[in-house]
Structure 1
Amino acid sequence: MSTDRIHLGQVIKQTPRLAARIPNFIKAGRILNPLRHHTSLGSVIENSARRYADNPAIFYQDRRYSYKEFNAQANRVAHFLLQKGVKKGDVVALFMENRPEFLFCAVGIAKVGGVAALINTSQTGKVLSHSINLVKPVLAIVAEELVEPIEAVRGELELPADAYYFMADTDTLRDFGQEPDNYQNLARIVAALSTENPPTTATVTKSDFLFYIYTSGTTGMPKASITNHERWLAAHAGFGHVVSGMRPDDVFYLTLPLYHATGLLVCWGAIVAGPAAVVIRRRFSASEFWKDIHHYRCTGFGYVGELCRYLLNRPPQDDDADNPVRMMIGNGLRPTIWKEFRQRFAVDNIYEFYASSEGNVAFLNVFNMDNTIGFGGGNIALVKYDKETEQPVRNADGYLVPADDGEPGLLLGKITKATPFVGYTQKEKTEAALLRNVFTQGDVYFNTGDLIRHIGCRHYQFVDRTGDTFRWKGENVSTTELESILSSHPHIEEAVVYGVQIPNTDGRAGMAAITPCIPESEIDFKALLAFMRKELPPYAVPVFLRLRQQMETTGTFKYKKTDLKSDGFDVNKVSDPLYVWLPGTDTYALLTLPIHQAIQNGEYRY
């Protein structure tokens, strides 16, 4: 049984704090009132701009935008889209790193009822072209910093030549930059347009699609999960009002990518509830993190588990606990570092949550307990899971078997009218995520693919991911996708990908067992790594390689991964040649016993 059991007395102690937030609960109830059909992301921003016009909305480097200025620039984007004939339901691809223009564009698209396809900025090559073509956008907004990967696949994209719009990597309200050939300069175009709220905002409903957020899922190339306005509003109200009690004087530090649900829905959605200010950073830096926190006087920040571990790995400072932070919102903070992080940096409120871009299951750590993904999940079931077969266990009648209290079980979310599963743009992908006839004939559940356990008082703890997806660097990695791309290399006949654990790291690092078509001595490992880094996002590049003469398969030609996962990269157990990509290098090196021991001892930082 877990030592992190939560007891009723602990929960009761937190009720006075929650009772003081009753006015926030009322606000959240009004936002989520099913009769208020026309509440949307756009209307929330317009309301904030009207009531809190001069309050800071965005800090970025040396720039500051008030809610009035933010709304005005989003309106210019909206009027541009209306001029281009973009209508409700049309898709606009948004390929941009973290900066104010991302939010200007995302909100502008929302105000006309369009759907912003939030392209993962790590994507390149086949993955990038697939993600864009999948959702059939009518135009693409491409940031200057990402023109190069777009140009590399432009010939494969199903977009008209005049549908590419450029956003310079400058303060675009003052410097439009210089667009490349075959692009139109969006900042220059919108500068001449109206800053008034467009009439279309009032026509957008909660059920209208808002974003396509990409997820690797459990198989295949990235899937576009559907986020409607109601889903964003639920995160906005739930995390902003109910959980964190965000205030207008709060300043929230956000280094998480805005193309992810954690950054855009959970963190920024909560910020707007204040309405507070967001400090946007292009990407996370452990060395600059606390400097920024002090500079902007941030009262909160967004996190994933890896981010917290990187901060803990920094040498301790005398003033670690002397900071203005009172809350952190995110997911993936592991129990092994939870209390150490809270104590070292003196964070009073850790608002851990569990959810997914597409799922119908959510947990919120509303009671601010330690070591838990939170409270909730009225529609959930935990069922026994066989790690050998990688399937849920069924009884003699063919139904799934509930997990015992405290036992890790596969998390399922029952699909009901109150807890629907919107799914993906591809119907077959949506169907693949469902389990039918789970406990009775005709019932339907969403399969999260995650193992969790109950630790008392309807609080739960994350255990691990299952199947063909593992989590590394805060990202879900699809093994099927990797296997397909690796097998396209001319010197690789077959590839099997899986995740392996490295001591003192969160998640699982990628490992690929490959069958080369040429002798080991002829493999150019530097070129092989360069190929992977070109075709794959950084987090998906395998850290380890295992060279095999032949892969073992089942009778239905499925690869047998159980033994491979068990062997990992242990040179004492594996007779096949093993190679490793060490931090700071540009090639795979032979994994020797001394290197293996150094990795085990934490001498290499992953």
Structure 2
Amino acid sequence: MRLQARLKRDLKFWQGLQRTLKRVKSIARDSENLICDDLQAAVEQHRARPAMTFEGRTVTYGELDAMANRYAHWAKGLNIRRGHVVALFMPNRMEYFAVWYGLSKVGVVTALINNQLSGPALAHSLNISGANHVIVDPETSSVFEQARKLLERNMHEWVLGAAHGDQRDLVQALKSCSQLPPDRSVREDMTAADTALLIYTSGTTGLPKAARITHMRAQLYMRGFAGATGARATDRIYVALPLYHATGGLCALGAALLNGGSVVLKRRFSASQFWGDIVEQGCTMFVYIGELCRYLVNHAPDENETRHKIRLAFGNGLRPDVWPEMKQRFRIPDILEFYGSTEGNVSAFNFDGHEGAIGRVPKWMKKQVNFRLVQFDVESGEVVRGTDGLCIECGAGQVGQCIGRIAGDARTEFSGYLDKAASEKKIIQNVFERGDAWFATGDLMKMDAEGYVYFVDRIGDTFRWKGENVSTSEVEGRLQAFPGIAQATVFGVQVDGAEGRAGMAALVLDGAFDAKAFGEHVKRELPSYAQPLFLRVLPAMDTTGTFKVRKVDLVKDGYDPAKIKSPLFFHDPKRGYVKLTKSVFDRLAAGAVRL
């Protein structure tokens, strides 16, 4: 029976892999076929079919293409030429995809700016883009205006709405632009290795970095998921993720639009509207990321949560403690979890839906995938090297850093960031042989004997305490199993006079908090070195637009009750979790408390 189950899993993995490889095998650096050519081909095949629905309005493939063509001619009319950058700073809306699709037709690069940014972070993202023009809408124009004084150069602001002062009316400008495709000669000599988009890192630990997304990489995202999901022309994919991010803006859109399917686009995610929307729109798939799934399972039961037609949910970041409830409570037939990063060259797929795994590399496939796990020293922050100076590959069950081989083909290329120094920091030389180069993902993972790969932690998040490595993601999973904990995030904080970093957890509660019962749960579930020394109760987590918790501010705040107004607790060795008062803090600072 075990053999039969394994063969069934292998078959499902193989089928998924074949679907994906079939769609991406023809992608090449020197190809003149660009991402806009892929999309144009889909338009010609499915011109009359519905392509996208947004806030009650549906457009066909032909109408979406006509919209994109207007943006292409708008750029040409302003002499925005091949290789120039236009910044796009808008929330999800019907025009979002059409803007960058249209600009790509004339070789213009679109910088997809996180619409959650403001002030210095927004100005930084705009400054490093090199753009002289920015497209905004009524929701983001005032935010841009406030950041304008921080810009290094003057930017022409184009508004999809009423324009005021120095703003320019983009709606009016587009009226005089042709709906016909621009002549292909305008991008003559361009290849798939040219840049199509700038997509920014989330900035969870600092200012965002701009990753270069070539036409080739955009094709890998869009074609890859068109194959991996097995999407069909009859599928309707619900997208509540921000389109400035690759998972929603490329992976999900590619799955739908390169197969003749339809996108049901939301301005933003809402747990209370999620299932009602999906039932009303007849959606058959949805895409997720980060903690979106946790928000769904933490939400009150909804009469629509099992009345849907969903056959597949796909995305990344589905935590192991949420996975079974997600699948069973909402009756989702299949979940496709994947691993990837905006700038990296590593991708993995869990085609057979093995709970908790982010991907799989069966032994018979190992030579055909470009990533490996190598031993890593958390304390030094470096890979472990043997006596020969080369890296040491991890064995089954051993935690190590995931790295991806850098080579010249589409699947192994590392395009990097606009910041060359930041790009170089992500490359490890002389890994398995002299002269080779590998991309460092910054993620710790482990692989079991069957080839299933499991995410352990971000390298910057894992910390050492009492001589042991503490995985924040594993501790978070244990804490969130306690009744009444809606969300938990764990990080390390410096304690005067103590070696390493002590664990601290920020908690969002769903009801009353029983500190004594929670302490008993922590003691039962976690070894002593992994038990959080400090707790902080928050009304909500500060997250990025892609639902990643911003730990940088939590680490900066630490556990000082003079700085933090929300409830704080300290783990007393004898009494369990007690309120962290100023007197307790002072005793800790003086080294009067034994940790």
TM-score (norm 1): 0.76
Shift of 1:50: 1.7
* Counterpart in the other structure of 1:355: 340
* Counterpart in the other structure of 1:192: 176
Q: Which amino acid aligns with 2:191?
A: T
Shift of 1:429: 0.6
1:150-549 correspondence runs (5 A): 150-160=144-154, 163-168=156-161, 178-200=162-184, 203=188, 204-216=190-202, 220-241=206-227, 243-317=228-302, 320-376=305-361, 378-418=369-409, 419-467=412-460, 501=476, 503-504=479-480, 509=489
CA contact (8 A) 2:16 2:351 kept: no
What SS does the corresponding residue of 2:83 show, helix, strand or coil?
coil
CA contact (8 A) 2:344 2:416 kept: yes
* Counterpart in the other structure of 1:582: 539
Q: How many residues align?
A: 511
Residues 462 and 21 of structure 1: CA distance in aligned 2, closer, same or farther (over 3 Å): closer
Shift of 1:212: 0.7
* Counterpart in the other structure of 2:135: 141
Shift of 1:111: 1.1
CA contact (8 A) 1:92 1:140 kept: yes
2:28 pairs, out of 28, 34, 44, with 34
Q: Which amino acid aligns with 1:184?
A: R
Whole-angstrom CA distance in 1 between matches of 2:334 and 2:174: 41
Q: Which amino acid aligns with 1:199?
A: D
Whole-angstrom CA distance in 2 between matches of 1:510 and 1:152: 34
Residues 222 and 508 of structure 1: CA distance in aligned 2, closer, same or farther (over 3 Å): farther
Q: CA-to-partner distance for each residue in 1:46-86, whole Å, 9 max, x for gaps?
A: 22222211111110011111000000000001000011111
Whole-angstrom CA distance in 2 between matches of 1:189 and 1:130: 28
Q: CA-to-partner distance for each residue in 1:466-524, whole Å, 9 max, x for gaps?
A: 12699xxxxxxxxxxxxxxxxxxxxxxxxxxx9994832799748796xxxxxxxxxxx
Shift of 1:392: 2.5
CA contact (8 A) 1:410 1:449 kept: yes
CA contact (8 A) 1:136 1:158 kept: no
CA contact (8 A) 1:580 1:588 kept: no
Shift of 1:38: 2.5
Shift of 1:407: 1.6
Residues 438-447 or 425-434, more deviating? 438-447
What SS does the corresponding residue of 2:139 show, helix, strand or coil?
helix
CA contact (8 A) 1:581 1:588 kept: no
Q: Which amino acid aligns with 1:13?
A: K
Whole-angstrom CA distance in 2 between matches of 1:410 and 1:507: 26
Shift of 1:598: 11
Residues 36 and 422 of structure 1: CA distance in aligned 2, closer, same or farther (over 3 Å): closer
Whole-angstrom CA distance in 2 between matches of 1:391 and 1:214: 25
Q: Which amino acid aligns with 1:400?
A: C
Whole-angstrom CA distance in 2 between matches of 1:386 and 1:8: 37
CA contact (8 A) 1:306 1:506 kept: no
What SS does the corresponding residue of 1:441 show, helix, strand or coil?
coil
What SS does the corresponding residue of 1:246 show, helix, strand or coil?
coil
Whole-angstrom CA distance in 2 between matches of 1:561 and 1:252: 50
Shift of 1:332: 0.8
Shift of 1:114: 1.1
Q: CA-to-partner distance for each residue in 1:183-211, whole Å, 9 max, x for gaps?
A: 11112211221100111476343112111
Whole-angstrom CA distance in 1 between matches of 2:354 and 2:534: 46
Residues 508 and 43 of structure 1: CA distance in aligned 2, closer, same or farther (over 3 Å): farther
Whole-angstrom CA distance in 2 between matches of 1:257 and 1:8: 42
Q: CA-to-partner distance for each residue in 1:570-603, whole Å, 9 max, x for gaps?
A: 9999999986543499x9425344999699xxxx
Residues 352-361 or 9-18, more deviating? 9-18
Gaps of 5+ in 1: 1-6, 169-177, 471-497, 514-545, 553-559, 600-606
Residues 100 and 383 of structure 1: CA distance in aligned 2, closer, same or farther (over 3 Å): same
Residues 403 and 20 of structure 1: CA distance in aligned 2, closer, same or farther (over 3 Å): closer
Whole-angstrom CA distance in 2 between matches of 1:366 and 1:592: 43
Whole-angstrom CA distance in 2 between matches of 1:438 and 1:593: 44
Residues 561 and 319 of structure 1: CA distance in aligned 2, closer, same or farther (over 3 Å): farther
Whole-angstrom CA distance in 2 between matches of 1:90 and 1:510: 42
* Counterpart in the other structure of 1:85: 79
CA contact (8 A) 1:246 1:273 kept: no
CA contact (8 A) 1:8 1:457 kept: no
1:121 equivalent in alignment to 2:78? no
Whole-angstrom CA distance in 2 between matches of 1:598 and 1:351: 42
Residues 380 and 115 of structure 1: CA distance in aligned 2, closer, same or farther (over 3 Å): same
1:105 equivalent in alignment to 2:109? no
What SS does the corresponding residue of 2:447 show, helix, strand or coil?
strand
Residues 342 and 511 of structure 1: CA distance in aligned 2, closer, same or farther (over 3 Å): closer
Q: Which amino acid aligns with 1:403?
A: C
Residues 337 and 35 of structure 1: CA distance in aligned 2, closer, same or farther (over 3 Å): closer
Residues 377-386 or 420-429, more deviating? 377-386
Q: CA-to-partner distance for each residue in 1:197-240, whole Å, 9 max, x for gaps?
A: 11147634311211111115797522111111111111222211
Whole-angstrom CA distance in 2 between matches of 1:579 and 1:375: 37
Residues 189 and 590 of structure 1: CA distance in aligned 2, closer, same or farther (over 3 Å): closer
Whole-angstrom CA distance in 2 between matches of 1:318 and 1:467: 41
Whole-angstrom CA distance in 2 between matches of 1:583 and 1:382: 35
Whole-angstrom CA distance in 2 between matches of 1:368 and 1:413: 23
CA contact (8 A) 2:34 2:215 kept: yes
Residues 444 and 452 of structure 1: CA distance in aligned 2, closer, same or farther (over 3 Å): same
Residues 21 and 385 of structure 1: CA distance in aligned 2, closer, same or farther (over 3 Å): closer
* Counterpart in the other structure of 2:501: 563
Q: CA-to-partner distance for each residue in 1:83-118, whole Å, 9 max, x for gaps?
A: 111122111110010111111111111111111111
Q: CA-to-partner distance for each residue in 1:263-313, whole Å, 9 max, x for gaps?
A: 112111211121211111111110000000001000000101411111111
Residues 406-415 or 69-78, more deviating? 406-415
What SS does the corresponding residue of 2:248 show, helix, strand or coil?
helix
Shift of 1:441: 2.4
CA contact (8 A) 2:71 2:174 kept: yes
Whole-angstrom CA distance in 1 between matches of 2:254 and 2:146: 34
Q: CA-to-partner distance for each residue in 1:526-564, whole Å, 9 max, x for gaps?
A: xxxxxxxxxxxxxxxxxxxx9x8xx78xxxxxxx99324
What SS does the corresponding residue of 1:145 show, helix, strand or coil?
coil
Q: Which amino acid aligns with 2:373?
A: L
1:59 equivalent in alignment to 2:46? no
Gaps of 5+ in 2: 464-471, 508-514, 520-528, 543-562, 580-595
CA contact (8 A) 2:534 2:569 kept: no
Residues 350 and 320 of structure 1: CA distance in aligned 2, closer, same or farther (over 3 Å): same
Whole-angstrom CA distance in 2 between matches of 1:130 and 1:217: 11
Residues 453 and 506 of structure 1: CA distance in aligned 2, closer, same or farther (over 3 Å): farther
CA contact (8 A) 1:582 1:588 kept: no
Whole-angstrom CA distance in 2 between matches of 1:563 and 1:589: 23
What SS does the corresponding residue of 2:287 show, helix, strand or coil?
strand
Residues 38-47 or 410-419, more deviating? 38-47
Shift of 1:137: 0.6
Residues 567 and 98 of structure 1: CA distance in aligned 2, closer, same or farther (over 3 Å): closer
Residues 294 and 374 of structure 1: CA distance in aligned 2, closer, same or farther (over 3 Å): same
